[in-house]
Structure 1
């Protein structure tokens, strides 16, 4: 297959930016999504719709947001490739994201019932629009600036910063819950932690990144050709499966801690559980990326996926909350190792340097589209629990384990050490 020319007409240069600066935006984004999706939104949804329909409406909200995240990154990425610019897209997306957080905070603080819920949905759509508008051009920076032989290390640093942002989010949510601060305070904190690391990345990325020759007239692979390129196809499919496993369980952890673990304060219990997951993730993230540079990406994913599948099943049989926390720590070890390799594997599979942002945006869809599983899984959760106590959790967690196992099986088809043609 003949591939288009790259952006610069030469091989990728040595990266002029440190991995910490390049990955800083993911720190703020990880904090932002953890606090919103796992702490704030489950609590707000119960306020709007009540206990009986919490799973259904939380799943619906997640699916509505996923529509935006599904469509926008490839379109914005393609436009970014044509203009040859990255930072202006990040800047505008960040601004819209912050406006959406304000709308969500106002709805949660001042409104109730279904009318308040739909205002809340509007704010969430603005958040999704802004964050995804920034994500596709930002995602192109790693394959654009980092050589193949260093991507495991950079991906590991990104995974560590992502886990660090999540850990800070879990701790902050726990502290804010104990202090009983007003709801707007946590939204303000989310906005601040999103903004500051984004400024670090935008200031630290070299100015010449936005002076690359645009690709408005350059030949590009069609989307059909992109998926016909086997390395990209298999990386895309395996990422879909791992994301399906994650989103089958993640939105409902707070409800699991309330209904199965019988925790009196499920929001704080979820924060503690997430902290255990993230500590495990940090422990395995950097070492996983470095190991993948030496032995390949797939062996790391085999181990990581196996751990995550096992824990998803074992949580169903946890006799008490401390055991569930220990299992969460083990899950974190697998998740951190997987995340440390994820960006390196995806970057390796990009077929052309002339369409990095578009192709990374399409690859990002593999992580975003599975958020739609929240709607049917939420409905399945409510249906199963209505049939028998906690049956819904057995069904949802069991399906998650199946997805993880399938991801491990299919990743065998991903070629190692993909080298792009010029």
Structure 2
């Protein structure tokens, strides 16, 4: 929807022997930025939101959580490509991405404060919907930094750094959520403060290129609405990448969306489950770092992405089978290690692979926003599917379904032809 040279073309040529100073700053500052964003994602939906729901409706907590997260994720699914489109078309002296990253973060801080004051399920639904919308107005332009500013030869390495910082944020968020459980508004205010500091540092150290001279094509609503449909005929590789991510993330959220309740009711830890969540998160981070540390750079070196993504999906599927057979704390620890190894490999390479199947250079954020539907739509499907599974067959049935979806994600990678 825009006509301008891609930023990566002027940042650092793929053949350059060493990264430019701006590239080194970008690699360094994406760590606190991503960590601060995913600190919120680890703390709120993983700990603080389920505890709020449990405090409001202990007997119906599973169904209530499914309703809240499902509606919120549907809002995020719509917001993600809209945020990407607006970011792609933004003309300002601060660039295309910076206004949305900064403004979205401020709106997110305010909406989290409102969420901390919610006292009923309807209030939580409204607050969580707003949080999900403004969160995507931060995530979509941040996601576009990879194709915008990073040359193809270094995208695997950048995805590795971004993936590790993402998981660091999630694990730290789980620990913070457990430590701040019961603190209400104070917990949300603390998370917001960390985000605002990280965003301020990023936009000052890594300024975007001014986009005041950018020429945008006339907006066509029909064309934009068609972007929600990924055509297997016109863009087959983009379609298969979308489908693979959709399947894998649906399997992931079927389980992780109920992790706290699984520990409470399936493993039998009751109220002690809150203390185990950050411990499992730390174990997951260690496992993730092991595979992330070499997967992204190695995929850059050998010029292959697909084997890593396929292998990671299969490993994650194997991990999901463990708690089904061993419904204990030990089983959950083994699951966490195995799934962490798989997800580490996946997060290090998937972003680089997806950036290479995008339909056009002039609409990176919008197209990535569409791809992000494959990550946000499962947050709608997962809780509703998970809630139905728990209601009909109990918690054990969650794991075989998640395994099958992970394997389906691996199989969907195979038909991609433009990436090895």
TM-score by length of 2: 0.88
Q: Kindly indicate whether the alpha-carbon contact (under 8 Å) linking 2:80 and 2:370 is maintained by their aligned counterparts in 1.
A: yes
Deviation, 1:225, is: 7.8
Aligned to 2:72: 65
Aligned to 2:191: 190
Aligned to 2:403: 401
Deviation, 1:335, is: 0.8
Aligned residues: 399
2: CA distance between counterparts of 1:9 and 1:318? 50
Q: Kindly indicate whether the alpha-carbon contact (under 8 Å) linking 1:99 and 1:127 is maintained by their aligned counterparts in 2.
A: no
SS at match of 2:89: helix
Structure 1 49/378 Cα, relative in aligned 2: closer, same or farther at 3 Å? Answer: farther
Deviation, 1:226, is: 6.3
Aligned to 1:387: none
RMSD between aligned alpha carbons? 2.5
Q: Kindly indicate whether the alpha-carbon contact (under 8 Å) linking 1:100 and 1:127 is maintained by their aligned counterparts in 2.
A: yes
2:253 aligned to which of 231, 247, 250: 247
Contiguous gaps of at least 5 residues in structure 2: 13-19
Q: Kindly indicate whether the alpha-carbon contact (under 8 Å) linking 1:159 and 1:286 is maintained by their aligned counterparts in 2.
A: no
2:337 aligned to which of 329, 344, 348: 329
1:125 aligned to which of 129, 134, 144: 129
Aligned to 2:17: none
Deviation, 1:217, is: 4.9
Deviation, 1:6, is: 4.7
Aligned to 2:413: 411
Structure 1 209/262 Cα, relative in aligned 2: closer, same or farther at 3 Å? Answer: farther
2:152 aligned to which of 144, 148, 155: 148
1: CA distance between counterparts of 2:7 and 2:122? 49
SS at match of 1:414: coil
Aligned to 2:41: 33
The reply on whether 1:369 has 2:377 as its aligned counterpart is yes
Deviation, 1:403, is: 0.5
2: CA distance between counterparts of 1:8 and 1:395? 46
Structure 1 66/176 Cα, relative in aligned 2: closer, same or farther at 3 Å? Answer: closer
SS at match of 1:101: helix
Structure 1 196/395 Cα, relative in aligned 2: closer, same or farther at 3 Å? Answer: same
Deviation, 1:341, is: 1.0
TM-score by length of 1: 0.87
Q: Kindly indicate whether the alpha-carbon contact (under 8 Å) linking 1:152 and 1:340 is maintained by their aligned counterparts in 2.
A: yes
Deviation, 1:361, is: 1.0
TM alignment of 1:7-406, pairs within 5 A: 7=5, 11=9, 13-14=11-12, 16-17=22-23, 18-51=26-59, 53-84=60-91, 85-107=96-118, 111=119, 116-176=120-180, 182-211=183-212, 213-217=214-218, 223=227, 228-264=234-270, 265-295=272-302, 296-318=304-326, 320-384=328-392, 391-406=393-408
User: Does 40-49 or 188-197 show the bigger shift?
Assistant: 188-197
Deviation, 1:331, is: 1.2
Deviation, 1:5, is: 5.7
Q: Kindly indicate whether the alpha-carbon contact (under 8 Å) linking 1:292 and 1:341 is maintained by their aligned counterparts in 2.
A: yes
SS at match of 1:240: helix
Deviation, 1:35, is: 0.8
Aligned to 1:388: none
